[in-house]
Structure 1
Amino acid sequence: MDSSLKKNETHYVHYQDPLAVKALSDLLITFLPKNHANLIVLCIGTDRSTGDSLGPLTGTFLSQMKPVNISVYGTLHDPVHAINLHEKTNLISDKYDNPFIIAIDASLGKNSSIGSYISGIGSLQPGAALNKKLPAVGDAYITGVVNIGGFMDYAVLQSTRLSVVHDMAFTLAIILNKLDLWLNYYQVNQRRNLARKKK
């Protein structure tokens, strides 16, 4: 992990920014610990609410890209939401040794922030927009601002445009897949370097 990055430091990039994929994938690389084993992308949300479907849509798109170095939890067919979040995080803890979890979730914010990804090091507080008390999850996080917050947030999530959420989720899946490709390249180079040293 890049020691110059602070835990409370947040980074913003809009999904329509031409440099969004490169900027956010490069940033995620700096979040990773030196040991890149057991990288988990935990996509939180439900397909029962348009605005809250950012996580499961991202997980579905990313799974279809068949990442090699990333394990994906939370898809449209098997979502991770308020009811099963504790169960899923326990499953990850039992299955993986010291996993590094990137938590993905939708969020509400200012009108000027709609379409932005907010990322940083540290845990994510799922359900905060709806005042749900859920356990904080993740070692790093990305939230996507899908609509305006502050008044009747549940109704706002329900009436969020699917086109925006779909495009944000697809771009986010591309970003995470690029991270997976980088991890593959990094590991191949490591193996080559080890082989050279043995000669």
Structure 2
Amino acid sequence: MIDNKNISIDSNADFAISTFTNILLNKLIDLYTPNYTDLVIICIGTDKSTGDSLGPLVGYFLDKRLVSKNKNIHLYGTLDKPVHAKNLHEYIDLINKTYINPFVIAIDASLGLYNRIGFVTVWDGPLKPGSGVNKQLPEIGNIHITGVVNIAGFMEFILLQNTRLNIVMKMANIISSSIIYSITKLNMDNKNIN
């Protein structure tokens, strides 16, 4: 499914990582301009719920493979230090006070139609966390990435608790790998220009 504002990939598709890497790289080439001072990745969710652990799992993988190697990339939300509904305001305040003009990528699990479970989407504009479970939380992000972990519409909290870890892990791997590969490619291209 392709349109100008969002692009999705089925996590079960062949070449899902390379396809989503290209999607994300094109989005970053278009929107992540040199006037941004830093790249901030905020992974929202909690490890207390399988379905809501997508963000912290992505953060865990990124922390180990990307952030420690890049001084202008900053990560919030891991398994050790999750960003969730109760502390999201604090982290948004911290980001706003710490960085002058950051480009923010927000990542979160979402609920959707049955035939969209397992789809990962990159969207223009800010993430509206908690909307799938009727929570009013502040928006964040220049772009955001969501993964549909389960169906929406009825007893969302129970559905999040009973989401298959396999689905969440597969999407977390695709998202984290695609972020790493697209940022690496973007950095290599920028070095070739200079």
Is the TM-score greater than 0.5?
A: yes
How many percent identity over aligned positions?
44
**In structure 1, what is the Cα distance between the partners aligned to 2:167 and 2:158?**
17
- How many pairs were matched up? 185
In structure 1, the gaps of 5 or more residues are: 192-199
- Deviation digits for residues 98-154 of structure 1 (CA, Å, limit 9, x no counterpart): 111111000011111000012211011100111000011111011100011111000
2:24/2:178 contact within 8 Å kept? no
Q: CA deviation at 1:47?
A: 0.6
Shift of 1:11: 1.4
| Superposition CA RMSD, Å | 1.6
Alignment partners' CA distance in 2, 1:23 and 1:135:
30
Q: Which residue of 1 aligns with 2:178?
A: 175
Structure 2 gap ranges (5+):
none
- 1:63 alignment counterpart: 63
Deviations 1:169-189 (A, max 9, x none): 112110111122113202321
CA-to-aligned-CA distance 1:19-47 (integer Å, 9 cap, x gap): 32223222223333321641111100001
1:20 has 2:23 as partner:
no
User: Counterparts of 2:14 and 2:154 in 1: how far apart (Å)?
Assistant: 32
DSSP-derived class of the 1:183 partner: helix
Contact preservation (8 Å) 1:130, 1:154: yes
Q: Which runs of 4+ in 1 moved over 6 A?
A: none
TM-score of the superposition, structure 2-length normalised?
A: 0.89
Is 2:47 the partner of 1:47?
A: yes
Q: What amino acid is aligned across from residue 53 of structure 1 in structure 2?
A: S
